[in-house]
Structure 1
Amino acid sequence: MSFFRNNPFTKILSFWITGLMLGFYVPQAKLLLVIICIILAVLVLAKLKTKTYPFGSYLSAFYASCFALLAFLSAGRPSIPNRNEKQHFVATVLEYPTEKTNSYQSVIQINQADSSYYEKQKIIVYLKKDMSVLQLKPGDQLVAQARIQRIQNSNDLFAFDYQAFMANRKVYYSTYLPTKDYQRITEKASGIPFAAERFRFQLINQLKKHIINDEQRQVISALTLGYRKELSPETRSYFASTGAMHVLAVSGLHVGMIYLFLTYALGFLKRIQLGRMTFVIIIVLLLWSYALITGFSPSVQRATVMFSFILVANSLRRPASIYNSIAASAFLLLLINPNLIFEVGFQLSYAAVTSIVFFFPKIELLWSPQNKVINWFWQLFCVSMAAQIGTFALSVYYFHQFPLFFWLSNFIVIPAAYVILASTVLFFIASPVNWLAAALAKVLSSATFVTLLLLREIDQIPNSLIENIGISALQLSALLACLIAGMFFIKLKRKEFLFVAVSFFLFFQIAAFSQKVALFNQTKCIIYNSAQCLHLINGRKNYLIYAENEEEEYRSIPHAIRELQLDSPTRIQLDTCQNFSTPDLIIDKRTVLFVNQTFQYKKRKVNRQQTGLENPEKNDQQSLFSDLAFKTTIDSALEKGKILDFNNLSVPETFIADF
């Protein structure tokens, strides 16, 4: 097809992603890929002299299988041992410490250690709260001794997989460092990344000097410099619930603004001798410098690589296909780091830009307003709609919500992003002149204040956010396949793509219906690692049985309610509830009868001398479920962080909870 001939990297990328997925999820496929490559190589050699049909098909299939095999070999997660051992080590600080509730957090890279295994490993380090910690800078060298352990998850069901999240960044271990156990030495590592990080910190300090309001400064730092560590959960929440979170993450939008500004400001270079090459070199260097300062997020990497390709192609008088540039940039990034394919930002970034490029022109043609202002708003609306088409499935899968007024928030945040980004650049340029920097800071602060005020108003609109949407990985795959097939049908006008799109949509509906049926018939029991309660589930009805009146809403419980599509739970405190009766749950003194399963429990006493705690009564209550172990009449046990599915039990059983 002409589309693939004109955009060869789209084919290369598809083969590469196929190989990566097989490498990560089907490691047994290696032998099959090798056999396919050998068979196709033999077929190509057999037709090499005559090059008669189907030589071309054999050769294309051979190239495709080779790309898939190479991607397969580059994929796969390393086997990381679950070590927990004390080490003496010398390390380099990679990030400025960030304040947490009980400590400061940073990332270090170990240069030398007692065990050579840890050398070159990146480690999350938690530092005791001390003023000396604030003196640490990227590039500083530390001599320390500490116990290094594998990053652990909470092991609660449906909880965020922090271990896998950090493994994608090639960070597998963490440690805690009290002030007495480390010492900063005078040697400082040199290098462009360290210099860029220190430069960004200087810029943030300039903002702190002139912008007093913490929230405004945090938003400006995130929007312009990619520094989001100080953002409060409340600010993140209403940006996310209004569909404006993409503005806080430095992305292609920001790189595109800078690209347009630079091409306009430096356009005069094209008119002088050797100016075109100078124009390209300067803009590429400035774009990559900005990407470096903002922390090299996947979206910034994608945009910077893509704009670099477009610049180079235009300088060579070879018009670049936007689809080929997008695919080439994705291929290059995945070639360097295959784990990027699991980054949510990477996926959303490429889905958004591809969808905008494809759908924006088609949506824009639906209306052509004559008024320039109305036309500008219409184009902004079209961009928002086009981006949402491509990112809808991924957003729902990862964030479990959909903001209905995303288009309205984009009318605010996209113009605001232009104003704030431009004002911030001028502010940094004018920072040596104190009165001018102060004046620009007021403009910047006012623009941010108005933006935040309007977003809060949108967030307060009733029913502006659909929450607790749960779709499975299988449903996500079906939706994405349906979207891709639909795009090919619109582009190529071939009915087989329409058939494929409809088939995947029907598959999505069948998967959703099957999931609903299974959830309506579920009878389960969950005991959480972090939450001090039992969760009894019958269809969509569910009961949370607490040891005492728990004021804290444990994060793992809403996750389970969303994923299992449950109604609002009925909460029961054991110490105050002697008798409780519904058709599926009966509580009588120390016995709980749920569906056809029996739970018996007793209170375990805590020895004050053994625990060494000041308040043994409080500890006794908190221990009711923290050390809970279920034992059945056949002496089996229910582990924490696991689901006991009553549908899989052949006979009713009695569970004894020893508190």
Structure 2
Amino acid sequence: MKFINFAVVKLSLFLVLGILASHYFLISVSIFPLLLVLFVLVIFFWFLDRNHLFPRVFFGIATYLCFFSIGYFSYQMRLPKFQPTHFSHLMMEDRADLLQLKITQILKPDKFNYKYFAEVMALNGYAATGKILLNISAEPESETITPDKILLVYTSLSEIPKPLNPYQFDYSKYMASLGVHGQVRISIHEIIDTKKGSHTILGTAQQLRASIVAKLKKTNLKIDERAIIQALVLGEKKDIDKNLYAEYAAAGAVHILAVSGLHVGILYVILAFLFKPLARGRYGIIFYTLIIVLLLWGFALLSGLSPSVTRAVTMFSFFAGAKLLYRETNSLNTLFLSFLALLIINPFWLFQIGFQLSYLAVFFIVWLLPIFNKIGYSRYLIVRKLWSIVAVTICAQIGVLPLTLYYFHQFPGLFLVTNIVVLPFLTVLMFGGILVVILATFEILPDGLASSYNFLIETLNGFIHWIAVQDEFLFKNISFSPLKVITAYVLILVMALYLKNMNNKRLVLSLLVISTFVSIFIYEEYTTSSNHLIVFQKSKQTLVGYKNGKHLSIFKKGFIENAADNYPVKSYISSVNVASYSESELPNLFRYNHSNILVLDSLGVFPKQTKIHTLLLTNSPKLNLDRLLDSLKPTRVIADGSNYHTYVARWEKTCQTKKLPFSHTAKQGAFLLE
């Protein structure tokens, strides 16, 4: 194997530790002065040791601490608290603000709103900074808002709400990882003024992508097929049907819908073939390399600069630079160099799923592939090619499996079959897709080519559908905690090291980690087997869950189809290790832990002689709560998400007057009774 620069790996590790320390143990003062001192010490020790073959330990300690501090400061300085002009410091509480916003990115809309990322340029006449989520009610005119447009609005800024149910996806945390710390909800008619802002590279790329998509819509490409080509070539996934996307996920092929290193690799092969004549001559290799690097970065910009595609293009740029400078390098070096560079530029990427999965997949491919190549070596070319696809797929799956189980709680058992068929097919689709996009852009796409490409995508979608419906091979609701994720990666690492060099020490270490992994499973099986009752928060609906060991009973009011397969119960089932569940109608009166719980709905009927401990109000019952509390004398009152907010506000005041505990799930979140 070529020379591996382990210093880059160590520096990357200390940078990551610094970012994590800043994320979990943030201090209220800037560490920039400390970073400057460490930087001076690094230069000082380097000057002392520049003529020594082996530098003294102080140089190494100062360098590692410097990169730790860079990670800490890089994350710290991007938080609103450490940005004096951030809009959060200028907001007026409980009042509307005059905001000047610049649209930076168009997001996928939902049923009710068009969504955008916007930079705050001014707030109440003062220059401001910061990124927000802009929600504009879904009206035809709202779609005309383009990147780089400046809007003037008078409205209230609000926080992105935290999840109200346990184990629910934390959208506010995800937005924070993108640097978004607030949101605005308006209609198109509330915009006071609009004007064109200065053009940005990203804004221009988005407008170009939107223009290409508009021209693709004029061709004979069908809706689903056009959505796939937009995802493959342009990184535009907004038009993919929800059910089609779910089928790709179930088949283990969702990675082909997100522009990544795989797509960049295929594009590089195509570009290398097309521009090969330029490599001739004394300076030909320089022009050849620069043109390919620029085109790859152009593709990355056009596809939205997602973490995975940025990682791939950055890696290639470092690799190409090393080749031009005749420097010895290898894939691990370029992988960690790109990792180091990207996290210095944007430390928030460390917490994004796409960034994590992309680097883990490539790391394990580079690290484990030589082992698999030795195992599956054959003198027959076709066998070697087939085995290379199998080996790459397995290596990538090993690398991302613990994290995918943690984030998505499912495992596609037929992922290997899917990738053996799809990966060779993808090269043809990418090449054809690029050709279709170019011809459609110039409005010269022949109907025959469009029909042929339709047929190819239909064939792919048909195969994906066939794989996805094999339900017995899709393992769902897998509970996988952060502790299991960490231990799983330690186990993978020690097992791979043992297979590379089998000795007694590594065998003992592997057995010790396996024992730890099994112990964690046993411990979590025990800790998640406790019983409790939970009143979920779901708008306009009533859902109550009773967990008894590993069985969950779902009680609901009215018609709610497949509650266990939908929000918020689905994520709850996956996270608390539920093995079985049932659904039934919620009774008006039931007993839990020697306490009577009365469910009062819109009918307002209740027993007068039974002692009530907990009163659950649902579906906005019309009642005099003051008299009811005097009659029933409950110890607590709960109102779920099915009630009118005006009713809930009145009930809350009544309970405050009587000094009775009151909980509203739409405000405090799901209510848990142990």
Q: Please state which band the TM-score falls in when normalised by the shorter chain.
A: 0.7 to 0.9
Indicate the residue corresponding to 1:406 in structure 2.
415
Kindly state the Cα deviation for residue 276 of structure 1 after the two structures are TM-superposed: 1.7
* Identical pairs, percent: 23
Kindly state the Cα deviation for residue 60 of structure 1 after the two structures are TM-superposed: 2.5
Q: One-letter code of the match for 2:622?
A: V
**Please, which of 185, 198, 210 is the counterpart of residue 201 of structure 1?**
210
Q: One-letter code of the match for 1:526?
A: I
Indicate the residue corresponding to 1:431 in structure 2.
440
In structure 2, relative to structure 1, the CA distance for the partners of 1:84 and 1:386 (3 Å cut) is farther
Structure 1, residues 122-147: CA drift from partner, whole Å, max 9, x if none? 22222233322232221222222222
Indicate the residue corresponding to 1:535 in structure 2.
545
Kindly state the Cα deviation for residue 333 of structure 1 after the two structures are TM-superposed: 0.4
User: Would you say the 8 A contact 2:616–2:640 is kept in 1?
Assistant: no
Please, which moves more after superposition, 510-519 or 526-535? 526-535
CA distance in 1, matches of 2:470, 2:104: 42
In structure 2, relative to structure 1, the CA distance for the partners of 1:57 and 1:486 (3 Å cut) is farther
CA distance in 2, matches of 1:432, 1:601: 59
In structure 2, relative to structure 1, the CA distance for the partners of 1:121 and 1:31 (3 Å cut) is closer
CA distance in 2, matches of 1:384, 1:602: 52
Indicate the residue corresponding to 2:573 in structure 1.
561
Superposition pairs of residues 189-338 of structure 1, within 5 angstroms: 189-338=198-347
Indicate the residue corresponding to 2:533 in structure 1.
525
In structure 2, relative to structure 1, the CA distance for the partners of 1:204 and 1:94 (3 Å cut) is same
Kindly state the Cα deviation for residue 509 of structure 1 after the two structures are TM-superposed: 2.1
Indicate the residue corresponding to 2:70 in structure 1.
70
RMSD between superposed Cα atoms in Å: 4.0
In structure 2, relative to structure 1, the CA distance for the partners of 1:483 and 1:56 (3 Å cut) is farther
Structure 1, residues 556-599: CA drift from partner, whole Å, max 9, x if none? 1121122112244343434xx468799999989968xxxxx954
1:368 aligns to what SS in structure 2? coil
CA distance in 2, matches of 1:425, 1:184: 39
In structure 2, relative to structure 1, the CA distance for the partners of 1:586 and 1:421 (3 Å cut) is same
User: Would you say the 8 A contact 1:523–1:645 is kept in 2?
Assistant: no
**Please, which of 447, 452, 457 is the counterpart of residue 456 of structure 2?**
447
Q: One-letter code of the match for 1:458?
A: I
In structure 2, relative to structure 1, the CA distance for the partners of 1:276 and 1:493 (3 Å cut) is farther
Structure 1, residues 385-423: CA drift from partner, whole Å, max 9, x if none? 111111111111111101011011112321232112111
Kindly state the Cα deviation for residue 14 of structure 1 after the two structures are TM-superposed: 1.2
In structure 2, relative to structure 1, the CA distance for the partners of 1:635 and 1:526 (3 Å cut) is same
Runs of 5+ in structure 1 lacking a partner? 592-596, 609-618, 647-659
Structure 1, residues 169-208: CA drift from partner, whole Å, max 9, x if none? 1111111222221155343421221211111112212221
Please, which moves more after superposition, 12-21 or 503-512? 503-512
Structure 1, residues 466-498: CA drift from partner, whole Å, max 9, x if none? 111111111111112232344445557676565
1:445 aligns to what SS in structure 2? helix
CA distance in 2, matches of 1:93, 1:600: 47
CA distance in 2, matches of 1:529, 1:571: 17
CA distance in 1, matches of 2:367, 2:487: 20
Kindly state the Cα deviation for residue 244 of structure 1 after the two structures are TM-superposed: 0.3
In structure 2, relative to structure 1, the CA distance for the partners of 1:394 and 1:417 (3 Å cut) is same
1:91 aligns to what SS in structure 2? strand
1:218 aligns to what SS in structure 2? helix
In structure 2, relative to structure 1, the CA distance for the partners of 1:365 and 1:620 (3 Å cut) is closer
Indicate the residue corresponding to 1:13 in structure 2.
12
User: Would you say the 8 A contact 1:359–1:386 is kept in 2?
Assistant: yes
Indicate the residue corresponding to 1:615 in structure 2.
none
Runs of 5+ in structure 2 lacking a partner? 82-87, 600-605, 625-638
In structure 2, relative to structure 1, the CA distance for the partners of 1:436 and 1:296 (3 Å cut) is closer
In structure 2, relative to structure 1, the CA distance for the partners of 1:404 and 1:570 (3 Å cut) is closer
CA distance in 2, matches of 1:621, 1:181: 29
Q: One-letter code of the match for 2:11?
A: I
**Please, which of 636, 644, 649 is the counterpart of residue 672 of structure 2?**
644
User: Would you say the 8 A contact 2:296–2:313 is kept in 1?
Assistant: yes
User: Would you say the 8 A contact 2:132–2:183 is kept in 1?
Assistant: yes
In structure 2, relative to structure 1, the CA distance for the partners of 1:434 and 1:24 (3 Å cut) is closer
CA distance in 1, matches of 2:134, 2:365: 40
User: Would you say the 8 A contact 2:107–2:114 is kept in 1?
Assistant: yes
Indicate the residue corresponding to 1:95 in structure 2.
105
CA distance in 1, matches of 2:227, 2:641: 40
In structure 2, relative to structure 1, the CA distance for the partners of 1:439 and 1:417 (3 Å cut) is same
CA distance in 1, matches of 2:290, 2:178: 30
Q: One-letter code of the match for 1:537?
A: K
In structure 2, relative to structure 1, the CA distance for the partners of 1:200 and 1:494 (3 Å cut) is farther
Please, which moves more after superposition, 457-466 or 136-145? 136-145
Structure 1, residues 99-129: CA drift from partner, whole Å, max 9, x if none? 4212222222222221647x23222222233
Kindly state the Cα deviation for residue 249 of structure 1 after the two structures are TM-superposed: 0.5
CA distance in 1, matches of 2:641, 2:254: 41
Structure 1, residues 46-92: CA drift from partner, whole Å, max 9, x if none? xx79x999974444233223322332222345446796642222222
**Please, which of 326, 342, 345 is the counterpart of residue 351 of structure 2?**
342
In structure 2, relative to structure 1, the CA distance for the partners of 1:582 and 1:320 (3 Å cut) is same
Structure 1, residues 292-336: CA drift from partner, whole Å, max 9, x if none? 000000001100000011111111222321101000000000001
**Please, which of 621, 625, 629 is the counterpart of residue 605 of structure 1?**
621
Kindly state the Cα deviation for residue 635 of structure 1 after the two structures are TM-superposed: 5.2
CA distance in 2, matches of 1:60, 1:472: 36
Kindly state the Cα deviation for residue 290 of structure 1 after the two structures are TM-superposed: 0.5
Kindly state the Cα deviation for residue 234 of structure 1 after the two structures are TM-superposed: 0.6
Q: One-letter code of the match for 1:606?
A: K
2:161 aligns to what SS in structure 1? coil
Q: One-letter code of the match for 1:109?
A: E
1:219 aligns to what SS in structure 2? helix
What TM-score, normalized to structure 1? 0.84
Indicate the residue corresponding to 2:627 in structure 1.
none
CA distance in 2, matches of 1:358, 1:620: 51
In structure 2, relative to structure 1, the CA distance for the partners of 1:573 and 1:623 (3 Å cut) is farther
CA distance in 1, matches of 2:511, 2:661: 47
Indicate the residue corresponding to 1:545 in structure 2.
555
2:489 aligns to what SS in structure 1? helix
User: Would you say the 8 A contact 1:381–1:407 is kept in 2?
Assistant: yes
2:199 aligns to what SS in structure 1? coil
CA distance in 2, matches of 1:620, 1:635: 17
User: Would you say the 8 A contact 1:368–1:375 is kept in 2?
Assistant: yes
1:396 paired to 2:405? yes
In structure 2, relative to structure 1, the CA distance for the partners of 1:588 and 1:98 (3 Å cut) is closer
User: Would you say the 8 A contact 2:99–2:120 is kept in 1?
Assistant: yes
Structure 1, residues 190-240: CA drift from partner, whole Å, max 9, x if none? 122121111111221222111442111111111111111222221111111
CA distance in 2, matches of 1:11, 1:243: 33
Give the number of equivalent residue pairs.
624
CA distance in 1, matches of 2:548, 2:501: 49
Indicate the residue corresponding to 2:635 in structure 1.
none
What TM-score, normalized to structure 2? 0.82
CA distance in 2, matches of 1:432, 1:195: 16
In structure 2, relative to structure 1, the CA distance for the partners of 1:365 and 1:143 (3 Å cut) is same
Indicate the residue corresponding to 1:515 in structure 2.
524
Indicate the residue corresponding to 2:166 in structure 1.
157
User: Would you say the 8 A contact 2:113–2:138 is kept in 1?
Assistant: yes
